[in-house]
Amino acid sequence: MTETTDLYMAFPRGFCAGVKRAISLVEKTLAEYGRPVFVHHEIVHNRHVVEKLKTQGVIFIERLDEISDLSRPLVISAHGAAAEVYADAAKLGLKLIDATCPLVEKVHRQIRKLAQQEKTIIVIGKANHPEIIGTVGQLGPDSKVFVINSETEVQNLPLEQNTKVGIVTQTTLAVDEVEKITAALKQKFTCLKDFRRSDVCYATTHRQKAVKAIAEKAEAVIVIGSKNSSNSLQLKKTALTAGALKAWLIDDASELPLADLKGIKNLGISAGASAPEHLVEQVVDTLRQYYRNLKIHDVTVAEEHIEFKS
């Protein structure tokens, strides 16, 4: 037991509209068609969500040739998928339910538009992330596309200053990083002089803003989310950049670094866009037992009213 600790709870945190819709679509598919239901990639990047759906009859696959029964439905994850996944599913006659987040679909439409305009396309994102595989996978083999994720990579692009380029961004990156990379691109390419667009979504932006606000008050920040969740990873990084001395990304209360929390007087909590709120509640309950006097403060930076129909 230690003395009084102030606990700052970031808001918004946890599930975004795209994640809620994706999980709801899988649940509705299970209710309508029974088990098993195949899902292309983890529906959202959260271990608890994925494990729970597995027990309800979901089989997660990465390739369509893993589908053992073609009469069963296939759900595309919130991250979206390459055009060839849709084409192959149609060839196989699969019943397809598309849980791609509408904000990712918007990026898909934009990259296809840039390709139609015959632009050289620069994708700011992580090349091996499923969202970027799906976004780049909207393009035909003749498109010119470069995936970059740093200012250094901007300098190394083998393109002339007057190249007609267009940009799209992964929705879950760090807002500040994207701004820096975009500024470097604007400096390098003449046609981007007036470029303003960013595809980092509202949920990512709000959660990073909220984590910054708690990191200004707390010396340590706990982010609840899975290690393969891009936006959760960014929240941990954002907390450290914003002034927290320590930050941890944990899946649930069992991973709380209690020994390292000893003596901490101001602690912050947030959760990635794919982390269920009950995991946050369990973490807070554990902290209540650990700290003799835990004072909880809500730190709200934005209201969210966005909902996507499922």
Q: Looking at the annotation, which residues are catalytic?
A: 131
Q: Which long-range contacts (CB under 8 A, 24 or more apart) does 88-94 make?
A: 88/64, 89/64, 92/64, 92/67, 94/64, 94/67, 94/70
> Cβ-closest residue to ligand SF4?
18
Q: Tell me which of 78, 85, 94, 136 binds ligand SF4, using CB under 6 A.
A: 78
Supply angle C-alpha 231, 233, 239, rounded to 5.
100
Sole window of 35-43, 97-105, 183-191, 246-254 interacting with ligand SF4 (rule: CB under 6 A):
97-105
Residue 19 binds ligand SF4 (CB under 6 A): yes
Task: Name the β-bridge partners of 60.
Answer: 39
Question: Which residue in the set 39, 97, 178, 203 belongs to the binding site for ligand SF4 (CB under 6 A)?
Answer: 203
Binding residues for ligand SF4 restricted to 153-172, rule: CB under 6 A: 171-172
d(CA 309, CA 17): 9
Count of residues that interact with ligand SF4, criterion CB under 6 A:
15
Q: Which stretch binds ligand SF4 (CB under 6 A): 16-24, 34-42, 111-119, 293-301?
A: 16-24
Of residues 5 and 170, the one with the C-beta less far from ligand SF4: 170
Beta partners for 40? Answer: 61, 76
250 binds ligand SF4 (CB under 6 A): no
Range in contact with ligand SF4 (rule: CB under 6 A) among 30-38, 99-107, 142-150, 188-196: 99-107
Three-state secondary structure call for residue 9: strand
DSSP state for residue 178 in the 8-state scheme: H
Sign of CA dihedral 211, 215, 8, 290: positive
Instruction: List residues bridging with 222 in a β-sheet.
Output: 248, 269
If binding is defined by CB under 6 A, does position 208 make contact with ligand SF4? no
Angle, CA of 25, 30 and 32, to the nearest 5°: 90
Nearer to ligand SF4, 66 or 179 (CB): 179
Sites of contact with ligand SF4 (CB under 6 A): 16-19, 78, 101, 103-104, 171-172, 201, 203-204, 231, 273
